[in-house]
Amino acid sequence: MRRSAAVVAFCCTATALEEQPWLRRELRPEDESISKNKAKQQGVAGGPCYPGKTECPFSTSCEWDRDTEDGEDFRERICMHKDLVPANGHDWATIFLLIAATALAAGGGIGGGGLLVPIYRLVAGFPITQATALSLATISGGSIANLYTYTRRYHPNDTIKRPLIDYEASLLFCPALLAGTMFGSVFSVMFPPWLTVVLLIALLGYSGRRTLNKGIKRWTGEDKLSPRPTRDEAGLQDVEIDTPLGHADAPPIARQDPTPDQLARLEAIYAKEGSLVQRENWTATGVIWLIVFVFALLRGGRGGASLIPGLDCSQFLYWYLFISNLAVLIAATAWIRKKTLDRATEKAFLGHEPLEGDLQWDRRTTALYPMLCVFAGIAAGLLGIGGGMVLGPLLVELGCLPQPIAATSAYVVFITATSGLAQVWIMGLVPKDYAFAFAACGLFSTFLGQSVIDWVVRKYKKDAIVILVIASIMLIALVLMTYDGIMQVVHATTYGFSPLC
């Protein structure tokens, strides 16, 4: 009887264990064999492992992958990253480096993702998906500090009172930049690691050198612009837009002094644009943010699955959403371009003359500059360097003043970083304990970096330090990301182009 009771108890216990999906899978021998076949002698963060056979990297241990959904045929062990508490030496080194990186990036108004992602991969030991998510968390914390600071400041040229952030440029550039990142993300899946490294060296090396040269020239005073011609000095052939509404079939307008009514209208425009409270621009920013966020969740991305069950890039619906997202961004760019062009035309008709460092808006520039942002976005999405690291050098090339460059870049980074963070948070890709800690460090170090840069600019009366900071970040990111890319090439299993799906 005792033996029968023991057998019955054993059977009941086994049945109870089988009802628990995690325990049931642990006892299956095929799980062990699958993990053993997939694992390598030297594991990688987030990669498969096998106890006693695979040596996981620092800060990781071989654990069951609990992201595997219940009901699949098998699951495997992966090299899973530790929790933040208790912190080890790698965690403290990472915090020190991220504070230094984000403080430096704050001076140029760029997020610093090109520095943070390699730090999180090489020093903290996170896999690429988590490193990217934590980079977005850190940059979002810093972007809040940037937004608080730059939305309260005026343009350094006080001839016309206006905010430090160029809202016209940021709103016109942002949809085009985001459209480019969509294509860049597609290319990043297809391109082999070695090609990505080559393109990274070429882009960051070239643009970093040019930005550095621009900063040095401004520091030495060699980039002083020649005075703009006055309206009396300029001929009618210099006028590209003939009427306040930009109608090409209307008769040309002769040059004449503005009337009192025109001056009053111009002053009213200056007063509206000079306010620090830009509700219309902030509303447009919120709409762009929401568009990017919703489409990203529907399509999936950044290492996460779509909210639509079973949707992947092999299905028609995926590409329908892709093209729809692209069409919405193009339509937003066209609408913002029309508003910008009409406003610039009216101001020119009323007697406004651009100041040093201002972007001059006309039919050509309102089409050309967004096209440049598309290519910049492709580079950002392909190489994973972030929007600020391509927009900042672009504004430098267009001749903008350093302080508005930092503020405008920071405003665009706020849109892209917070939207990306919301996506990866909902998709469950963010290690929350690290994310809160790193975001707090980013917030603190951004305020610190801004204070230091402001002190240097006031002390030496050299705003070129902002351009030099941007160039320094690009060159440091070139070294870090090239090394990280080479490590990926070394561990790559294929060196050819990969299928998209």
pLDDT of residue 67: 55
For the cut 50, the answer to whether the pLDDT of residue 166 exceeds it is yes
Alpha helices in 163-192 (DSSP H): 167-190
Contact predicate 356/225, CB 8 Å: yes
For the cut 90, the answer to whether the pLDDT of residue 440 exceeds it is yes
DSSP string, 417-431: HHHHHHHHHHTT-S-
Amino acid letter, residue 298: L
Long-range contacts of 58-65 (CB under 8 A, 24+ apart): 58/90, 58/125, 59/88, 59/90, 59/91, 59/124, 59/125, 60/125, 64/22, 64/25, 64/26
pLDDT higher for 394 or 335?
A: 335
* C-alpha dist (Å) from residue 391 to 111, 254, 387, 406, 413: 11, 38, 6, 10, 9
pLDDT of residue 94: 92
Most confident of the ranges 13-27, 404-418, 419-433: 404-418
Beta bridge partners of 222: none
Element (H, E) at 254: none
DSSP one-letter code for 351:
T
pLDDT of residue 493: 62
Domain regions of the chain by residue span: 34-81, 90-227+275-490
For residue 86, whether the previous peptide bond is cis, meaning omega lies within 30 degrees of 0, is yes
pTM, whole model, 2 decimals? 0.76
Give the whole-number percent of the chain exceeding pLDDT 90.
Answer: 7
Provide the b/e sequence for 73-93 (b: ≥16 CB within 10 Å). Answer: eebbbbbbbbebeeeeebbee
For the cut 50, the answer to whether the pLDDT of residue 7 exceeds it is no
Q: What does the pLDDT look like over 73-97, one tens digit per residue?
A: 456 777 888 888 888 888 999 999 9
The average pLDDT across 204-225 equals 77
What's the CA gap between 101 and 445, in Å, rounded?
9
Give the whole-number percent of the chain exceeding pLDDT 70.
Answer: 77
**Residue 475's closest CA among 197, 209, 202, 106?**
209
The average pLDDT across 126-137 equals 83
pLDDT of residue 445: 92
* C-alpha dist (Å) from residue 72 to 25, 31, 67, 76, 428: 10, 11, 11, 11, 19
Q: What does the pLDDT look like over 260-294, one tens digit per residue?
A: 787 888 888 888 888 888 888 889 888 888 887 88
3-state percent breakdown (helix, strand, coil) of the chain, nearest 5: 65, 5, 30
Within 13 Å, how many C-alpha atoms sit on residue 464's CB side? Answer: 16
3-state secondary structure 3-48: HHHHHHHHHHHHHHHHCCHHHHHHCCHHHHHHHHHHCCCECCCCCE
E strands, 52-157, in order: 60-64, 77-81
pLDDT of residue 304: 56
